[in-house]
Structure 1
């Protein structure tokens, strides 16, 4: 799958980068996108409509000349040749004075255009949560494909330049000599070469070297940066060998035991989610149970004012916030945690839940974004307190 050279993927480093931007106004635009023609003709139309929303919000504080200056980076990013021809399931664009970045999303976000003092990062945080995302490595003896999935979709990724796409990429021309095997004898450590290497033994040695190279590079360039689980999709006989050479702790023991080229991507997505769903539900239930226990012990709160004060004081260990819910308020006093209701179109106001999540992260807390039916509170927020 071709990717857009003008966009960047989502990872933890991106989130930290967005949180570090302090110069306002911060423009955050999220939109679902279509990947194929003719549906992708809707992408630039949707973008223009969201740009109008940003402009309307900016008009409340800035002059027309200033607004044009603030919107220009978004137009430059999307104005590149063929930009809208290489989109994934969604797009996010962030811009503030001296900073602009377009982000490719493998899931479809809720349409949103917000101007505030900081970027709106809650959808990025939700996207990054390991509970809902996973990688699928489809491998045979010739080549590999890597996918990112969630409960809704599975999208093929363009491989990192240092990840070998084929056995030739991994081993070059240094495949095992068809007529030579090596053995050690006695305690001398001396090796002797014999000319009786069988074809099966050569294949097994090359497969082992190939699988090891793939396992190491996928771990380094995908698993470590994202922290999300990895599923192996391969013929049953390849699973044992791959697990033997693998050192990636995020590779799940259970996998998809099929020839990945023999099934559709939709079928593979369904098989992957069948494995991942129990793990997903288990983590969600454990987290909600932990909150309920903490609340019973006096160390949990869903009161917005109490949580705001606890965040300012650095007492929040884990913050649960509701996905897609917007509370047009802001913390107006970083000492008392005072919260005031505001207009979301005000260019200084972001979603209160988004502001709370960013403050929690800055204070060393953990943040989890849950769907409404998973939230253990009605307020849109639930906090597990350190003390």
Structure 2
């Protein structure tokens, strides 16, 4: 557009400025397949029409976009834009690169054995750090490294607590160094289950990828906080999962090591079954199996002979409705669970199938808890039960507790002198006392007792603990 001597603008000659352009404001229509995605983004970053979310961070419009590149000397030379993520990662790694750490991180199984639990319970030091966070196996949270950010915040909070206790910064870095090595490890956070726990002490670092989400928790004390591990380590929750398929039937077992395939001799080489060829008027199978009943009977014979003949754990079936129904008619296993996972699950995620099976079996697993609560009610008027912290804690230390009920997320702070049988209960955590509820849990398991961690409303008594005594 030109301007004459008087300062008046004149449009250039030729086609009008709107020629060959669509009428309107220039906004394009939204593709239907993108509508859900756009709505999710709107919900995430806004709180109402034309109103941004208060936690949304905005960059100043007058910022120097090349400042980081020109003054700090990093970023991409081709674009001139700083690579903040890369620099942040390098800074975090460099901070602990020269820190000497005597302990190497060691992974423990997601479902602990009693012996592994006792190993953690036996650790005692001036500074023991227990961190629990819920994590994600997939989804936006994984892509955005949300779990890593939460874990980093917990480490920073732990660092602050240690400094407040009088620990020097180099010693704090040495203690937390093994855990900080995970913060920027994207591969580590892309390979998680539903929860993550880490236990740090001088010359000690253990971590667990948990199959169930724990409460978000950080405790800095003289021993580890272990109660959140108990719901996942009940030994009575073993089961089998049989994935039925016309071409590749598989048997899996869930136990303290997680869910793993059971290699059954003869199962992999078993001939597959092909539906009859109705169009040609023939009824033929593959390698001699002319009907599904013969094929499924052969599967059951092999599995029962090689694995299940001495087992009592429940077996959950996963397959089409027709195959599941027909397998029930030919199976010789007495502990076949009545409810199944219906559908074609040949290519489904194994962990997802495992969670479905555990949910289906929950009423079966709760039978032991129901019997224990019934026994507590029947014995409630005798000296074989107690819901008083001052009675239950010493009894747990001395091996008197047969079954302990502990309220989830409940704490009772204090100290217990086992040698002199002296219990002191405090109003709050002071850095020198223990969580007496957690100590009762640890000691009961160490002495061979059973523990149930329950929501407060499901406790057999209005107390953070309740116990059935051996004597």
User: What is the TM-score normalised by the length of structure 1?
Assistant: 0.72
From 410, 420, 424, give the equivalent of 1:325: 410
Larger CA Rg, structure 1 vs 2: 2
Is contact 1:29–1:93 with CA below 8 Å preserved after alignment? Answer: yes
Change (3 A) 1:125 1:274: closer
How far does the alpha carbon of each residue in 1:39-80 deviate from its partner, in whole angstroms, 9 at most, with x for none? Answer: 122111100111122223322142222211111121235554
1:56 aligns to 2:154 (yes or no): no
Q: 1:216 Cα shift?
A: 5.9
1:97 aligns to 2:199 (yes or no): no
Is contact 1:317–1:386 with CA below 8 Å preserved after alignment? Answer: yes
Q: Give 1:9's aligned residue.
A: 110
SS in 1 for 2:326: helix
From 20, 30, 50, give the equivalent of 2:132: 30
1:87 aligns to 2:177 (yes or no): no
Q: 1:148 Cα shift?
A: 6.5
Change (3 A) 1:97 1:342: farther
Q: Give 2:151's aligned residue.
A: 47
Is contact 2:392–2:467 with CA below 8 Å preserved after alignment? Answer: yes
Q: Which has the higher contact order (CA 8 A, sep 6+)?
A: 1
SS in 1 for 2:118: helix
1:71 aligns to 2:156 (yes or no): no
SS in 2 for 1:125: helix
Task: In structure 1, list runs of 5 or more residues that go unmatched.
Answer: 150-156, 177-196
1:159 aligns to 2:260 (yes or no): yes
Q: 1:282 Cα shift?
A: 3.8
Task: In structure 2, list runs of 5 or more residues that go unmatched.
Answer: 1-105, 273-286
Q: Give 2:325's aligned residue.
A: 236
Distance 2:187 2:385 in 1: 50
From 343, 359, 375, give the equivalent of 1:290: 375
Distance 1:259 1:213 in 2: 27
The two structures, once aligned, show a CA RMSD in angstroms of: 4.0
Change (3 A) 1:354 1:102: same
1:378 aligns to 2:462 (yes or no): yes
SS in 1 for 2:380: helix
Q: Give 2:230's aligned residue.
A: 125
Report 1:120-199 matches (<5 A): 120-129=225-234, 136-141=241-246, 142-144=248-250, 146=252, 159=260, 163-164=262-263, 198-199=288-289
Is contact 2:411–2:437 with CA below 8 Å preserved after alignment? Answer: yes
Q: 1:269 Cα shift?
A: 8.2
How far does the alpha carbon of each residue in 1:196-226 deviate from its partner, in whole angstroms, 9 at most, with x for none? Answer: x943498468634663588469x7xxx9xxx
Equivalenced residue count is: 338
SS in 2 for 1:261: coil
Q: 1:277 Cα shift?
A: 4.4
State which drifts further: 308-317 or 353-362: 308-317
Change (3 A) 1:62 1:75: same
Report 1:268-347 matches (<5 A): 272=357, 275-341=360-426, 343-344=428-429, 346=431
How far does the alpha carbon of each residue in 1:291-350 deviate from its partner, in whole angstroms, 9 at most, with x for none? Answer: 12222122111111111232333322221111121223332444314133165361x444
Q: Give 1:256's aligned residue.
A: 340
